[in-house]
């Protein structure tokens, strides 16, 4: 997006670019949602319904393709260590409540904004650079699961994306769906057997108890906090204001919306959610320019929840892992190319590099490392 284009922020649209950009964050959404449902035992309806509702509200409020993503630290712990740590769906719901209350308080009191203002430009740049590189590496890992299919998908996208990002995304999705149906003959039969079954939202907090709150707060919500501040508050605010300077936002607004959507999700049986800089980059890279993209994605998820929540794993089979890898790869590249280092001192270059390298492993730790170096290497007062 050029500065001139971003300054002319339009009304919410639902054109081809918005439809294509709506799928620019599938590389993050599908793996985590599938893990929550299949491994952690979450009810597909609650997960999909809360995501759909949050996406629609985000699009209407922010009026740009402001993403809603699964909280990655919580999702990783719940899906990889859930059995050994006794993490239940109730504990995941409790984590959402604790997380929601935390960010709502930080936002309403202004503490979150004050914390964010302590972060220097090199630390922000390092976080964004590390996030972008991490997404690209994850994209290559997903490509490697089926190299031939992945390289074909990458070549197709690379051929089209400079001419039309929207056409590139739609062609990539069509290619992926065709490949999925060809490689798995049972998929067509499974899709044909799907039947709509209407479900409505229900209160989902009845199973919470003291143990669920302790596990959710200490094992899930606490490890997520620095990651959320670094990526889902500081980095996305910076990235949003770079792309859409005509409608700037502050960390306080992002903190409050993060808190509200997590309280709502926990009530509906959803999972902890956040706004991530990588998601914004993915939506924009494939053509989204307004809130229409996330509203479209939210509406599709709501429809899936209301009528086909029992068949969601079948629907997800339409998107082969290498295709999701291509989406992640381009989302990461969009983040990386937005980092600007001009005007930084040599010591600030070191802070940026150290933060970025650490972010390849853990964004929350990178945030802490960057802050420490920022103050250790600051110019001496004369």
Judge whether 90 lies within some domain.
yes
**Residue 381: inside a domain:** no
What percent of the chain has pLDDT above 70?
95
**Among 1-15, 115-129, 160-174, the least confident range:** 1-15
pLDDT, tens only, 34-81: 999 988 899 999 999 999 999 999 999 999 999 999 998 888 888 777
Model confidence, pTM: 0.90
pLDDT digits over 192-232, tens only? 999 999 999 988 887 788 888 998 898 899 888 888 998 89
Tell me, letter by letter, the H, E, C secondary structure of 80-128.
HCCCCCCCCHHHHHHHHHHHHHHHHHHHHHCHHHHHHHCCCHHHHHHHH
Give me the residues paired with residue 273 across strands. Answer: 70
CA distance 208 to 267: 11
pLDDT in tens, 318-368: 999 999 999 999 999 999 988 887 778 888 889 999 999 998 887 878 888
- Cβ atoms < 10 Å from Cβ of 342: 4
Burial class (CB within 10 angstroms; exposed 0-12, middle 13-18, buried 19+) of 78: buried
Residue 140 has pLDDT above 50, yes or no: yes
Is there a domain that residue 197 lies in? yes
Model confidence at 7, pLDDT cuts 50, 70, 90, reads very low
Give the separation between CA 40 and CA 118, rounded to whole angstroms: 37
Q: What is the DSSP letter of 229?
A: I
User: Do residues 180 and 321 touch, judged by C-beta distance below 8 A?
Assistant: no
Residue 220 lies in a domain: yes
Task: Tell me whether residue 251 is in a domain.
Answer: yes
Q: Is residue 382 part of a domain?
A: no
User: 342 is in which domain, residue-wise?
Assistant: 3-376
Count of the separate structural domains present in the chain: 1
5 vs 52: CA distance, rounded Å: 28
In a domain, 161, yes or no: yes
């Amino acid at each position: 997006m050029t500065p001139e284009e971003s300054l002319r922020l339009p009304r919410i649209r639902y054109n081809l670019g918005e439809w294509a950009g709506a799928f620019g964050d599938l590389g993050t959404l599908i793996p985590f949602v599938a893990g929550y449902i299949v491994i952690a035992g979450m009810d597909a309806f609650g997960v999909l319904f809360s995501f759909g509702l949050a996406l629609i509200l985000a699009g209407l409020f922010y009026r740009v393709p402001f993403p809603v993503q699964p909280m990655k630290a919580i999702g990783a712990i719940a899906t990889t260590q859930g059995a050994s740590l006794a993490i239940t769906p109730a504990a995941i719901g409790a984590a959402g409540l604790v997380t929601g209350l935390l960010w709502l308080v930080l936002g309403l009191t202004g503490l979150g904004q004050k914390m964010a203002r302590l972060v220097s430009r090199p630390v922000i740049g390092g976080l964004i650079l590390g996030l972008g590189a991490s997404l690209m590496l994850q994209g290559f890992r997903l490509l490697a699961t089926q190299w031939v299919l992945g390289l074909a998908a990458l070549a197709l996208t690379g051929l089209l994306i400079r001419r039309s990002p929207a056409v590139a995304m739609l062609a990539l999705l069509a290619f992926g769906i065709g490949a999925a149906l060809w490689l798995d003959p049972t998929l067509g039969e499974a899709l044909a057997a799907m039947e709509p079954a209407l479900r409505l939202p229900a209160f989902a907090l009845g199973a919470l108890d003291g143990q669920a709150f302790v596990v959710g707060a200490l094992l899930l919500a606490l490890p997520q906090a620095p990651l959320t501040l670094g990526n889902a508050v500081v980095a996305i605010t910076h990235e949003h204001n770079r792309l859409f300077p005509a409608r700037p936002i502050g960390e306080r607004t992002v903190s409050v919306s993060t808190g509200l959507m997590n309280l709502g999700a926990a009530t509906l049986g959803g999972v902890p959610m956040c706004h991530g800089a990588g998601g914004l980059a993915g939506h924009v890279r494939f053509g989204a320019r307004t809130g229409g993209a996330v509203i479209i994605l939210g509406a599709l998820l709501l429809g899936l929840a209301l009528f086909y929540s029992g068949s969601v794993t079948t629907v997800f089979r339409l998107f082969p892992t290498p295709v999701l890898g291509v989406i992640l790869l381009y989302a990461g590249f969009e983040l990386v190319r937005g980092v600007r280092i001009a005007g930084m001192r040599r010591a600030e270059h070191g802070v940026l590099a150290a933060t970025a390298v650490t972010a390849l492993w853990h964004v929350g730790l990178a945030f802490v490392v960057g802050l420490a170096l920022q103050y250790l290497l600051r110019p001496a007062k004369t």
